[in-house]
Amino acid sequence: MTRFLFILLALTVFSLTSSNAAIYKGQRIFIKKCLKCHKEGQNFIANYKMKKWKRLMKKKGKLLAEIHLDNEKAKKSWKYFKSKRYAKKSRHLKQFLIEYAKDSGNVPACN
Ligand code: HEC
């Protein structure tokens, strides 16, 4: 858990200094909306390659939403994935996810 918090902190610092607003916004969405179920956080994002995230987040995140809406275990996320807010902000989330995908080469630095 401490390690994870550390990564989160590193991520935040990175986002702030990189002044990349979209990625920062995407990160906030991820922390608020995804982390409660996908507790591995950063490692979870790095499970997938950029291409996979791009595919999942195409057409305003349609596929990602469908995966969750088809899964009873993800019931608590249904309201969010059906919301207009999800579709509207999905491009920020997409940028964030791609930024930290397995093959992006962007591992938050520890300095
Ligand atoms: C209420 C819990 C919940 C929330 C919130 C949630 N997920 Fe999931 N997610 C799941 C479950 C359950 C699965 C299916 C996992 C399984 O079957 O092993 C899943 C699967 C996935 C997968 C795997 C798809 C695949 O094809 O392998 C990805 C990627 C994913 N979620 C990303 C996200 C992202 C990004 C968010 C935030 C926008 C999010 N999830 C929010 C519960 C959730």
Q: Which pLDDT score, from 0 to 100, does residue 110 have? A: 57
Q: Which pLDDT score, from 0 to 100, does residue 1 have? A: 66
Q: Which pLDDT score, from 0 to 100, does residue 4 have? A: 80
Testing ligand 1's pocket by substitution, the residue of 32, 38, 71 carrying the most ligand atoms inside 8 A of its CB is 38
Closest C-alpha to 95, from 14, 13, 29: 29
Q: Which pLDDT score, from 0 to 100, does residue 52 have? A: 97
Q: Which pLDDT score, from 0 to 100, does residue 85 have? A: 96
Residue nearest to atom 33 of ligand 1 (CA): 34
Q: Which pLDDT score, from 0 to 100, does residue 42 have? A: 82
What's the average pLDDT block by block, 10 residues per block, for the chain (111 residues)?
77 62 91 95 92 97 98 98 96 94 77 49
Q: How far apart are CA 13 and CA 28, in angstroms?
A: 13
Letter string b/e over residues 39-71, b meaning 16 or more CB atoms within 10 A of that residue's CB:
eebbebbbebebeebeebbeebbeebbeebeee
Our answer on whether the CB atom of 60 is closer than 6 Å to any ligand 1 atom is no
Our answer on whether the CB atom of 49 is closer than 6 Å to any ligand 1 atom is no
- Asked if residues 110 and 10 have their Cβ atoms less than 8 Å apart, the reply is yes
